[in-house]
A and B are shown apart, each in its own frame.
Chain A
Amino acid sequence: DVKVTQSSRYLVKRTGEKVFLECVQDMDHENMFWYRQDPGLGLRLIYFSYDVKMKEKGDIPEGYSVSREKKERFSLILESASTNQTSMYLCASSPRDPRTDTQYFGPGTRLTVL
């Protein structure tokens, strides 16, 4: 079974703090993704990575950066957290083709920025 884990289920941070969200997958998948989920807006792609050290902007990359130093780990960084980044963050991975392969999701991190 594919397993995608995220470092925290719940996180509370203050405005201006630097925030790291980490995601690890154990199935040697090439692609990893970060989404945020907000009511009525569905899943919106922030960034994805198709290989180590490779990244591509998604639909809403502003205010975020990512890091993929190892194949199994993909980090989402909020350089200076703001209240409008309060959301559910979901990490996912897929084997090879980011357009057609099934995505496997982690449990999510609910981030609250005060």
Chain B
Amino acid sequence: GQQVMQIPQYQHVQEGEDFTTYCNSSTTLSNIQWYKQRPGGHPVFLIQLVKSGEVKKQKRLTFQFGEAKKNSSLHITATQTTDVGTYFCAGAGGGNKLTFGTGTQLKVEL
């Protein structure tokens, strides 16, 4: 079945450093979604990308969908302590559901 992997699994950064998580699918995706889960919380939708090569920004967050629609990335510029949490990508391949990635846990130290 479809597999969606994310790297890295964990990332510790100093506040102010940049952070990137990568999402790779075993199949071509029709769309990719990103979610954020704060510690002790539940996943919350951030954004959806649909077009090949699409780039979207939300303040310090930049989301990109690969040209082949099999990978995506989330980049955070100048991390803050409020960015702490686990980031999940989720994509729809050939089936009738979203498949979530393995997640990247971000810790930000002062």
Question: Which residues of A does B touch, CB under 8 Å?
Answer: 33, 35, 40-45, 48, 56, 58-59, 90, 92, 98-100, 102-108
Contact indicator A42/B101 (Cβ below 8 Å): yes
Any A CB within 8 A of the CB of B11: no
Docked-complex contact A103 and B98, CB < 8 angstroms: yes
Asked if residues B92 and A108 are in contact (CB atoms below 8 Å), the reply is no
B99 in contact (CB, < 8 A): yes
Q: How far is the CA of A55 from the CA of B99 in the complex (A)?
A: 17
Q: Is the CB of A43 within 8 A of B43?
A: yes
Q: Is the CB of A99 within 8 A of B42?
A: no
Note all chain B residues with C-beta closer than 8 A to A92: 43
A58 touches B45 (CB 8 A): no
- With A90-B42, A106-B42 as contacts: A99 and B9 at CB distance below 8 Å: no
Partner of A41, one of B33, B42, B97, B102: B102
What range describes how many residues of B lie at the interface?
A: 20 to 34
Cα–Cα distance between A104 and B44 once the two chains are bound (Å): 7
Name the A residues within 8 Å of B6 (CB-CB): 42
Which A residues lie within 8 Å of B58 (CB)?
none
Residues on A with beta carbons closer than 8 Å to the beta carbon of B43: 43, 90, 92, 103, 105
Chosen A-B contacts, 13 in total, with CB atoms closer than 8 Å, are: A42-B6, A42-B100, A42-B103, A45-B97, A45-B99, A90-B42, A90-B43, A99-B97, A99-B98, A100-B31, A100-B92, A103-B45, A104-B45
Shortest distance between the CB of A43 and any CB in chain B (Å): 4
A43→B100 contact, CB < 8 A: yes
19 other contacts beyond A56-B96, A105-B44, with CB at 8 A cut-off?
A: A35-B100, A41-B102, A42-B103, A43-B88, A43-B90, A48-B97, A59-B99, A90-B42, A98-B96, A99-B31, A99-B95, A99-B96, A99-B98, A102-B45, A103-B33, A103-B35, A103-B43, A103-B90, A105-B43
Q: Give complex CA distance A106, B98 in Å.
A: 17
